Amino acid sequence: MDIEKQKSEMTDTIAKFIKYFGKILPDDIQKKLKELAEQEESPMAKLTYDTMFKNQELARDLDRPSCQDTGVIQFFAKVGTKFPLIDHLEEIFTNAVLKATKEAPLRHNSVQTFDEYNTGTNVGYRTPSINYEIIPNSDEINLDIYMAGGGCTLPGKAMVLMPGEGYEGATKFILDQMTSYGLNACPPLLVGVGIATSVETAAVLSKKALMRPLGSHNPNPKAAMMEEELEKSINAIGLGPQGFSGANSVMGVHIENAARHPSTIGIAVNTGCWSHRRGNIIFHPDLSYEITSHKEVVL
Ligand code: SF4
């Protein structure tokens, strides 16, 4: 296959996948929402979960996005240095967003900063955002694609703490953010936390934490314990589904960490909403692919 045909094939596959997961939530999120719904006692919380499940049914039946806010599309790519289309990825991702926006259709969510106009295509200066990790000696690409909605982006915050503030300070930072802005993000939330040196290193990790499948834990036992404690604490706020109060506030808390400068603790938080639309797709060098986030998908 010549290079143009390969580019077009990969673009089409990604566009179809974006259209698909804009309607159908990933398997882990669907499973968790059902589990959380069963734990609710209050009629309002039960009704809210029922409405979410009805929403999912209608999105599938009517072939429409499951939330009107289809977000800004973000790509997190683990790229093998030997993946054949490595030189063309930005063009492929951008064209896939253009195509999915027209065909799904997706809401237009890209406003050019300073010039303040909506491009009407979901593509703009440095958008879609792309984060690359290079994987040596691999010929595959492992791609997490995410629709970052406005409401669930709103609680995002990063700062640098004095080292003496320790993990207690980090916990306070996260809980302050959840008690003030968690409500805006259509709970139950997936809470991503990044702990590193500076605001940008922590912030990127906090968003990557939202790409991890539910039920996964940080490999460091102390960090995994903090995930568990934070989950209990944020649940104790009792936000419930859509903030109408209830037994739980979160689907999970994921922490990603990096070694830090001894004089700083960079901390960041990012949230995903109940409609956490992300998809994982792995392309092989011949462009055959596996989708790990949605088992029943046929593109
Ligand atoms: S927070 Fe999520 S569910 Fe709520 S409006 Fe935004 S994208 Fe939709």
How many angstroms is it from 106 CA to the middle of ligand 1? Answer: 14
Strands (E), 63-187: 72-80, 111-112, 117-118, 129-135, 141-148, 157-161
Cβ pair 279, 203 in contact under 8 A: no
**Residue 82 pLDDT grade (very low, low, confident, very high; cuts 50, 70, 90):** very high
Instruction: Write out pLDDT tens, residues 267-278.
Output: 999 999 999 999
d(CA 162, CA 90): 38
What's the average model confidence in pLDDT over 228-232? Answer: 98
**Residue 257 pLDDT grade (very low, low, confident, very high; cuts 50, 70, 90):** very high
Considering the chain, what percentage of its residues have pLDDT values greater than 70?
A: 100
Give the pLDDT confidence score for residue 1 in this predicted structure. Answer: 76
Strands (E), 48-188: 72-80, 111-112, 117-118, 129-135, 141-148, 157-161
Instruction: Write out pLDDT tens, residues 105-154.
Output: 999 999 999 999 999 999 999 999 999 999 999 999 999 999 999 999 99
Regarding the beta carbon of 67 and ligand 1, being less than 6 Å apart is answered yes
Regarding the beta carbon of 22 and ligand 1, being less than 6 Å apart is answered no
What's the average model confidence in pLDDT over 89-95? Answer: 98
Please check the confidence at residue 179 and state whether its pLDDT lies above 90. Answer: yes
What's the average model confidence in pLDDT over 267-292? Answer: 98
Regarding the beta carbon of 55 and ligand 1, being less than 6 Å apart is answered no
Among 29, 52, 64, 67, residue to substitute to test ligand 1 (most atoms within 8 Å of Cβ) = 67
Mean pLDDT estimate for the chain: 97
Q: What domains appear along the chain, each with residue ranges and CATH number?
A: 3-23+66-149+277-291 (3.30.1330), 152-272 (no CATH)
Among 273, 274, 276, 277, residue to substitute to test ligand 1 (most atoms within 8 Å of Cβ) = 273
Residue with CA nearest ligand 1 atom 7 = 149
Ligand 1 atom closest to the CA of 67, numbered from 1: 8
How many angstroms is it from 182 CA to the middle of ligand 1? Answer: 12
